[in-house]
Structure 1
Amino acid sequence: MSTVNYELIGDIGVIRLNNPPVNALSHGLREGIWGAIKNAQEDASKALVLLCEGRTFIAGADITEFGKPPQAPGLSEVITEIENSCKPVIAAMHGTALGGGFEVALACHYRCALASAKVGLPEVKLGLLPGAGGTQRTPRLAGVAAALELITKGSPIPAAKAESLKLIDRVIDDDLLKGALAFARELIDRNAPPRRVRDIVIDPASVPEGLFDDFRQRLEKRARGQLAPQHIVTCIEAAVHQPFDEGLTKELNLFIECLLSSQSAALRHLFFAERTATKIQGLPKDTPTREIKSVGIIGGGTMGGGIAMNFANVGIPVKLLEIDQAAIERGLAVIDKNYNITLKKGKLTEAQKTHCLSLIEGTTDYADLAEVDLVIEAVFENIELKQEVFAKLDQFCKPGAILATNTSYQDIDQIAAATNRPEDVIGLHFFSPANVMKLLEVVRGSKSADDVIATAMQLAKIIKKVPVLAGNCFGFIGNRMVRPYGREAQLCLIEGATPEQIDTVMQSWGMAMGPMAVGDLAGLDIGYKVRQGLNEAEKGDPKTYCIADALVEIGRLGQKSGAGYYRYDPKTRARSSDPEVLALIEAQAEAHGIERREISDEEILNRLTFALINEGAKILEDGTAQRPSDIDVVYVYGYGFPPHRGGPMHYADSIGLAKVYESICAFRDQHGEAYWTPAPLLTRLAQEGKTFASWTNDQH
C-alpha cells in the first residue's frame, strides 16, 4: 500500500498518510505529500484535508535519517508546497502531532484535531530546535511568551490547550474524518481563503521589555549549559524583529549548528539507549510474562509509600504492610501529602487522587498478602532483616508470586536463599523519591527465572519507569559506580577544595546537583549509619569518609538539621557557606597528615567523572551491565548526570578514551594504584583507538 493516498469526497480532496507505526516523516511520506498537494491544484477540489491512518498523526521526523544525506523533497519544501496551495489545506490531527509533524500542521491554513490529540515541538529533548518553521509560526499564532514555554520545554499539550493558544482552530469530539469534512465544508461555504501563518506580523511593541533576556536567565537555571534552548529563544526573537524568511534562515542555521553539536549527538544517543535498555540479551522475545493484578509492599516509609503510588497511579491495587496501625497511618499520610503536591501542580484531579488512595490499603498481617502477584520489600538496608521478611513471604505468598527486594546494594542471592523459591526472587531498585524518579534497576539473581525477569522489565513500562537490567554485585550498576565518584569528591575536599568549589564545578558542567549538596539533601547520617555496621577493612581509607563522619558527630546531618556541608535557612532552605565547615575540613586534613593545596576545577571534574568511567568499564567487563548505553541510562535517569553529555560512557567516547586512559594513568602516578588502576577494558580500547560504542558492536 502506498504511504500517501488521495481521493475526492465531493469537492473536498482527502490526502491520507499511512507510514506505520507512527507516520514518521520519511522520504517516501514527504514525497507523497508534496506530490498530492501539487496535483490537487489542478483537480475539482475546493479544499484539501490532510489526515493520517493508524494510531497517530505525523509523530515527528524519521530519526533514522539523521546524519544521512538529505533526499528531496526536504521537509521545508513540503511545507512551502502546502502553504502556497491556492486551495485551503486543513490538517486533521489525532494521536500525537509532534515535531516535524506539527510543523506540517502549522503550514496548513487551518487545523482541527480530536479532543484526545496532543501537539508539540519536542526537538529540544534531542538537543535540536524545530527546523521547518516551528519557531517562526508558533509565536505568530500562540504569542511569544507561550511559544517560548512550549518549544523550550518540548512537552506536548492537549488539543484543548492548543485551541486556547490558537494553534488549533477546531476540536472534534468523535469521528475525525466526518468532523474534518464538516469543517472544510464550512470554509468552502463562506469562501474562506488560504490563511497563511507566515503572513501574520508580530508587533514588537506587544512584547514586554526584557522578556527575552529574562527568559534566557531562567534557562540558565533550568537548562544549564544546554545549547538548543538558548538558540530557540534567539529564533523566536527573530520572529518578532525580522521578516518571516529571514527568521526561517536564522532558524535553519541554528538548527544545523544544533544538529552537528556534541550535545544533540548525546541526547540522540540517550533516545536510542533508553529503548535498547529494554532488550535482554539471551532472553527470547516470546518469553512469557506473569500477570500482575495486585501488589504487596513491605514497609510504608518514604520509599515504600512512593513505590505504592507508582502502582496505584496505573490502577493496580496495593496492600501496604507495616509493623502496626500507627506506622500504617503515618505512611498513608505521607502518600496523601505527596498526592496533594501533585494536585496543586495541576497534574492530578481531586477525583484521580481519591481513586488512587482507594487502591492503597494498609495491613499489619502477612496473611493479607496471600493472593498478591508481586511483593516488593522496602525495609531498612539490613541483610538479616530482609532475609527475615523473605522467609515470611515464602510462607504466606502463593506459588508463582514474584518476590522482589528494593535493596540498593545487598546481595540478591543471599536474600533469595531465605526462600524455597529463589527463581521467583528479583531486585527492583527504585530511586528516591520513588513516585518521581524514572529509573528502575532490575537486578537478576543467579537463579531468577526468565519469566520473572521479563515480567519485571514489562512491568517497569506499565508503571512508567525506565528499566535497566543489572547483574548482582554490591551496589549493582548505579551505587557501585557512585562509590568512586563520592570517594574522589571526599579526597578532593580533604586535599584542598571546598564544598562550594566541588559543587560549583559539577553543577556548572551540568550535574543536577553537586555531590556535597546531594549528601546534605539525602542526610549525612544515612551513610554514617551504614559505615557503623562495617569493619575497618570494609569502610576503606578513613580519608574518604572522615569529614562526613565528623560533620554527623557534631550534629550536622544536612538539610534535615539545618546544617551539613552548608548552613540552611530554616524557612527557604537556601544554602550558604559556613566557616565552621572549612575549619573542620582543615582539622581533618591535619589529623591525617595531608597538606592542603590548590586544586583546579579541571582536576576536580576529571577525577570525579573519570572515576565513574573507569568503574563503568569494570562493570562492562564483568557483565554487571549488558552494554555501555545501559550505564548511561542509569546515570542520567538515576543520578542527575547531564543528559546533554549522554551519560558517563558516551561522554568518555566523545572526549576520547585515550585522553581518559592517559589522565587515569597520571592520577595513578600522583595518587597511587589503589584507586587509579585503569580498567583492563578501558586500557585495551584506548590502546586500540576504539570506543565503548564500538566495543558494543563487536560483542554482537
Structure 2
Amino acid sequence: MSDVVSYQREDEIGLIVVDNPPVNALGHAVRQGLLDALDQGLADDGARALVVMGAGRTFPAGADIREFGQTPKEPALPDVINRLEDSGKLLIAAVHGTALGGGMEITLGCDYRLALDSARMGLPEVNLGLLPGAGGTQRLPRLIGAQAALDAIVGGKPMKAGQLEKMGVVDKVVSGDLKAEAIAYARQLADDNAPRRKVSELTVDKESDTVFSDYEQSIARKKRGFLAPFHCIKAVQAATELDFAAGQKRERELFTELLNSPQSAAQRHVFFAEREVGKVPGIAKDTPRREIAQVGIIGAGTMGGGIAMNFLSAGIPVKMLEMKQEALDKGVALIRKNYEATAKKGRMTSEQVERCMSLLTSTLSYDDLSDVDLVIEAVFENMKVKKEVFGELDRVTKPGAILATNTSTLDVNEIAQSTRRPEDVIGMHFFSPANVMKLLENVRGEATSDEVIATVMDLSKRIGKVGVLVGVCYGFVGNRILHKRQAQAISLVNEGATPAQVDKVLYDFGLPMGPFAMADLAGLDVGWRIREGLRESDPANAPERNWLDALAEQERWGQKTGGGVFDYAEGDRTPRPSEVTAAEIEKYRAEQGIETREISDTEILERCLYVMVNEGAKILEEGVAMRPLDIDIVWIYGYGFPVYQGGPMFWADSIGLDKVHAKIQQFHDETGHDDWKPAPLLERLAKEGKRFADL
C-alpha cells in the first residue's frame, strides 16, 4: 500500500486518492502509487467506476520539477497516463484546486472530467522552457481542436473550470462537496452505461491548412528568442499528422530536446528564484507584520500616479498629496485615463474602474496623512527635496507608520536621518511604468527594522510585485549595474562602434531594446540632470562630459521630443540613425583625440555583459545583494534580461566563471580601468572551479 496514494470503495465507486502534501506533486512515489491503486480498483469487482482525485488543497498540481535533470525513474508519467486510459473501467477525474501540467494530463487520460467551480487547470510547461511531455500536446488537440490547444499550450495560462467546460475539456462543473459530487456523478454514468472515451482515439480537428505557420507568425515578436513555444507548435502539429503512438513519440523527442537545453535550465532557475527571493535570510518567519490599510503617496506625477494604481487595484485606499491643485487634478485625471484605457481593452470592467477611483482621495496638506499606515515619497530625485519631505512626514504621520522613498539612486540612510525614526524608513524603488513593471527593489537602510522589512516584502506580493530586498549604495543593485553597462556602451561608440550596432547586439542577445534605445525611452534629460547634479555636488566623482550631454543640452531628450540618440517619426517609436548624433559623436572623438577602430559584435557583447557580471560579484561581496538569484530577478523583472538566459549571474555560470574571469582580466590589462578590475569573489570562484550558484 502506497503512503501517498490510497484506494478505497464507497458503495459501488472506487476512489483513487493522491495525498502528497503540499500540492500532490507527481513524484516517483505518486506515479507508482497511482498504478498500484489502479490495479486495486480494477481487481475490485464491487467497483462499477473509478474516481481519481486529490486529498488536501488540490488535485495533483503538476510534476515534481525537482526531478528534472535527474535520471528518470520508472514508471514515467506518460506510461502512467496511458495505463489509466487503457484501464477496463470507467474512469472519472474529480478536480479541485489547480491541476497543472502533469495534473491536467492525468485528467486527459480519464474518460470524464468533473471539477469544482473554483478549480483551475492548465499546461504551463512553456514557462519552464518545456512542453507538456505526458501526452498533453497529443490529447488536448484531439479533444478541443488544434487552434484552441495551441492557445492553451503556447499561452501556458491556467483556465477556470467554467471556461474549460465551454471549451469541452471539463464535462461537469459542481460546487460544494467534491467527493460526494464525484461519487454521484460516477454512479450516474455507470447507471446510464456511459461509454468509455479514450481521448487518444479521437480525430484532431486542424481547422485550416495554415494554422501552424499562421500561429508561428502571430507569436514571432512576443516569443522572440524562446525555443519552447515553437517546439509546442511542432508537437501539436504532430498530433494532426501522426497517429497517437507516433505523435507521443515525437512529443517525447521534442520534450527531451527542451529539457536538455540551456534555455529550460535558465527558466527553471528563474521559476525557483522568484519563489526564493521573497524569503529574506535573517528575517524570521514569525516576525510581526504591520497592518497596511491605507497608503499615502507624495507626488501625483507619472511615477506617483503609477505607484498609487498598484494599491488601488489591490483594494487599498490611497491619499495622494501634491503642492498645487493643478498638478493634483492632472495626476488624478491620468490615473482615471489609464484605468479607462485598460477597460477599453477588456481587462477590467467600468464598475472596477469606478471602484478603484473611489478608493483615491487627494490633498494639498501633509496633515491629512496623519492616519496612513504607509507613505511613499515619489518626488524629484534630489536629496535636499527628499529630506524636506521626510522631515514633514516625521512631523505628521502616526507612530508605527512606514516611511518609504521611491529613490532610484540616493542614500536611504541619509534620507532616514532626516527623521527621528530611521527604523521605520525603507526604500521602495518602483520601476516605470510603476503600474506595469513587476519589480519592486526594496532597500534596507542601516536602521530599518525587521518588522518593516517583513511588512514591505509581504506587501510587494499583495500588490502584484516581485519584491527583492537590497542594501544601500549608489543605484542599489539594478541601476548600479546598469550604469556600468551604459558606460561600456558609450565607450564602445567612442572607440568606433555605432549606437545602432551596440543596440542590435544586445537586442539579438534577447534584451527588449539596446542601451541607447532604452535611454531614449527613459529620456536623455533624466541621466543628464543626474550627471549635472553630481558635477555640482561631487565634482571629483562626477562623470566627464560626453556627446550624450551635448544631445541633452540641445533638448534631444529621446522619444518624447522626437529625437535623442536616434530620430523618431511622429507616432512611430522605431529608432532611426541620426545625423545630429553622428556629428556629435565625431566631434567628441576629435576633441578627445580618439582614433577609431572596427569593433566586433563579440567584443560588444562581452564588454556590455561581463562588466555587469563583475559588478554583480562586487555587489555580492559588499552584501548589497544577499544572493546571486536576487541580482538575476532584479534584472529579469526590472530591465528585461531574457528569462531564457536566466539573469546575468546564472548566465555567467553557464558560460563558466573561469572564462568570464579570464576575459575580464584581459580587459583590465588592456585598459587599466577600475571597472575591469576582477572582483575578488569572481576571482576566487573561478580559481576554485565553482559557480555563483554554489554560494
TM-score normalised per structure 1: 0.96
Taking the aligned partners of 1:478 and 1:451, their CA distance within structure 2 comes to 24
Q: Distance in 1 between matches of 2:603 and 2:373?
A: 50
Alpha-carbon separation, structure 2, partners of 1:667 and 1:217: 41
Per-residue deviation, residues 478-499 of structure 1 (Å, max 9, x unmatched):
1111111111111112222222
Q: Which residue of 2 aligns with 1:31?
A: 32
Say yes or no: does 1:537 pair with 2:540. yes
Q: 1:196 to 1:175 in 2, by over 3 A?
A: same
Structure 2 residue matching 1:112: 3-state secondary structure: strand
**Residues 157 and 345 of structure 1, relative CA distance in 2, 3 Å threshold:** farther
Q: Identify which of 116, 119, 124 aligns with 1:117.
A: 119
**In 1, distance between residues paired with 2:47 and 2:601?**
66
Structure 2 distance, partners of 1:341, 1:9, is 54
Separation in structure 2 between the aligned mates of residue 379 and residue 635 of structure 1, nearest angstrom: 24
Cα deviation per residue 1:330-385 (whole Å; 9 max; x = unaligned)? 11111112212322333322222221111111111111111111111111101111
Supply the AA of the counterpart residue of 2:252.
Answer: L
Task: Confirm or deny that 1:201 pairs with 2:203.
Answer: yes
2:148 counterpart of 1:149: no
- Once residues 547 and 147 of structure 2 are traced to their aligned partners in structure 1, the CA distance between those partners, rounded to angstroms, is 47
Which digits, 9 at most, give the CA deviation of each residue in 1:276-296, with x for residues without a partner? Answer: 222222222222121111111
Instruction: Tell me the secondary structure at the aligned position of residue 429 of structure 1.
Output: strand
2:67 to 40, 65, 89: 65
Give the CA deviation at 1:458. Answer: 1.4
Alignment correspondent of 2:267: 267
Q: Paired residue for 2:42?
A: 41
CA distance in 1, matches of 2:150, 2:493: 40
- CA–CA distance in 2 between the matches of 1:149 and 1:571? 31
SS in 2 for 1:435: coil
Q: 1:203, CA displacement in angstroms? A: 4.9
Instruction: Confirm or deny: 8 A CA contact 1:25 1:58 kept in the other structure.
Output: yes
Alpha-carbon distance in 2 for matches of 1:8, 1:408: 62
Which residue number in structure 2 is paired with residue 179 of structure 1? 181
Q: Alignment partner of 2:43: what SS?
A: coil
CA contact (8 A) 2:517 2:575 kept: no
Deviation, structure 1 residue 647? 0.6
Instruction: Look up the equivalent residue of 2:71 and give its one-letter code.
Output: P
The question of whether the paired residues in 2 share the 8 Å contact of 1:216 and 1:233 is answered with: yes
CA–CA distance in 2 between the matches of 1:177 and 1:565? 64
- Alpha-carbon offset, residue 674 of structure 1: 3.3
- Deviation track 1:525-550 (CA, whole Å, cap 9, x = no partner) reads 111111221214333243xxx22222
Shift of 1:9: 2.6
- Whole-angstrom CA distance in 1 between matches of 2:214 and 2:607: 35
- 2:550 matches 1:550: yes
Which of 155, 160, 163 is matched with 1:161 structurally?
163
CA deviations 1:221-274 (Å, max 9, x no partner) are: 212222211111111111111111111111111111111111111111112212
From the superposition, tell whether residues 20 and 344 of structure 1 become closer, same or farther in structure 2 (CA, over 3 Å).
farther
Counterparts of 1:656 and 1:553 in 2: how far apart (Å)?
A: 43
In the TM superposition, what are the counterparts of 1:3-14 in structure 2 within 5 Å? Answer: 3-14=4-15
1:98 to partner: Cα distance? 0.5
Matched-pair contact (CA < 8 Å) for 1:85–1:194 = no
Q: Answer with 279-288 or 450-459: which moved more.
A: 279-288
Deviation digits for residues 178-227 of structure 1 (CA, Å, limit 9, x no counterpart): 333333233223211110111112255x3242x32232234432122222
| Change beyond 3 A, Cα 1:48–1:344 | farther
| 1:507 counterpart residue number | 507
- 2:32 and 2:6 map into 1 onto residues whose CA distance is 12
The corresponding residue for 1:392 is 392
Residue 108 of structure 2 aligns to a residue whose secondary structure is: helix
Indicate conservation of the 8 Å contact 1:224/1:508, yes or no.
no
Q: Does the 8 Å contact 2:16/2:50 carry over to 1? A: yes
Matching of residues 51-450 of structure 1 within 5 Å? 51-203=53-205, 206-209=207-210, 211-450=211-450
**Contact (CA 8 Å) 2:114, 2:173: kept in 1 or not?**
yes
Q: Take 1:640 and 1:476, find their aligned partners in 2: how far apart are those partners?
A: 17
Q: Which runs of 5+ in 2 are unaligned?
A: none
What is the distance in 1 between the residues matched to 2:604 and 2:494?
12
Q: Sequence identity of aligned pairs in percent?
A: 53
Measured in 2, the distance between the counterparts of 1:523 and 1:153 equals 33
Partner amino acid, structure 1, of 2:627: R
Distance 2:352 2:116 in 1: 23
**Distance of 1:198 and 1:78 partners within structure 2:** 14
SS at match of 2:221: helix
Range moving further from structure 2, 623-632 or 496-505: 496-505
Letter in 1 for 2:425: V
| Counterpart code for 2:38 | I
Deviation string 1:563-598 (CA, Å, 9 cap, x unpaired) is 222222323433333344333322322222222222
Aligned equivalent of 2:581: 581
Instruction: Supply the distance in 1 between the matched residues of 2:59 and 2:347 (Cα, whole angstroms).
Output: 25
- 1:641 matched residue in structure 2: 641
Work out whether 1:600 is the aligned partner of 2:611. Answer: no
Q: Which residue of 1 aligns with 2:23?
A: 22
How far did residue 309 of structure 1 move? 1.4
Give the letter aligned to residue 217 of structure 1.
Answer: Q
- 2:143–2:204 contact (8 Å) kept in structure 1: no
Q: CA deviation at 1:613?
A: 0.3
Q: C-alpha distance in 1, partners of 2:300/2:365?
A: 14
Tell me, yes or no, if the aligned pair for 2:120 and 2:159 is still in contact at 8 Å: yes
DSSP 3-state at the match of 2:534: coil
CA contact (8 A) 2:141 2:205 kept: no
Quick check: 2:445–2:471 contact (8 Å CA) kept in 1?
yes
Contact kept in structure 2, 1:4 and 1:18, CA below 8 Å: yes
Judge conservation of contact 1:141–1:165 (CA < 8 Å) in 2.
no
SS of residue matched to 1:24: coil
Q: CA deviation at 1:325?
A: 2.3
The one-letter code of the counterpart of 2:220 is E
Task: Give how far 1:310 is off.
Answer: 1.3
Partner amino acid, structure 2, of 1:333: A
Secondary structure in structure 1 of the residue aligned to 2:607: helix
Cα separation, 1, equivalents of 2:54 and 2:344? 37
Conserved? CA contact 2:631–2:649, under 8 Å: yes
Separation of aligned partners in 1, 2:197 and 2:98: 23
Q: Give, in angstroms, the shift of residue 638 of structure 1.
A: 0.7
Q: Tell me how far apart the structure 2 counterparts of residues 184 and 606 of structure 1 sit (CA, whole Å).
A: 62
Partner of 2:491: 491
Structure 1 residue 443 displacement after superposition: 0.7
Question: What is the alpha-carbon distance in structure 1 between the residues aligned to residue 214 and residue 671 of structure 2?
Answer: 45
**What do residues 297-351 of structure 1 show as CA deviations (whole Å, max 9, x unaligned)?**
1111111111111112222111111112222221111111221232233332222
Q: Any idea what the Cα deviations from partners look like across 1:404-443, whole Å, max 9, x if unmatched?
A: 1111011011101110111111111111111111111111
Q: Given the superposition, is the C-alpha separation of residues 540 and 573 from structure 1 closer, same or farther in structure 2, using an over 3 Å criterion?
A: closer
Q: CA RMSD in A?
A: 1.7
- AA aligned to 1:15 is I
Pair 214,489 (structure 1): closer, same or farther in 2 beyond 3 Å: farther
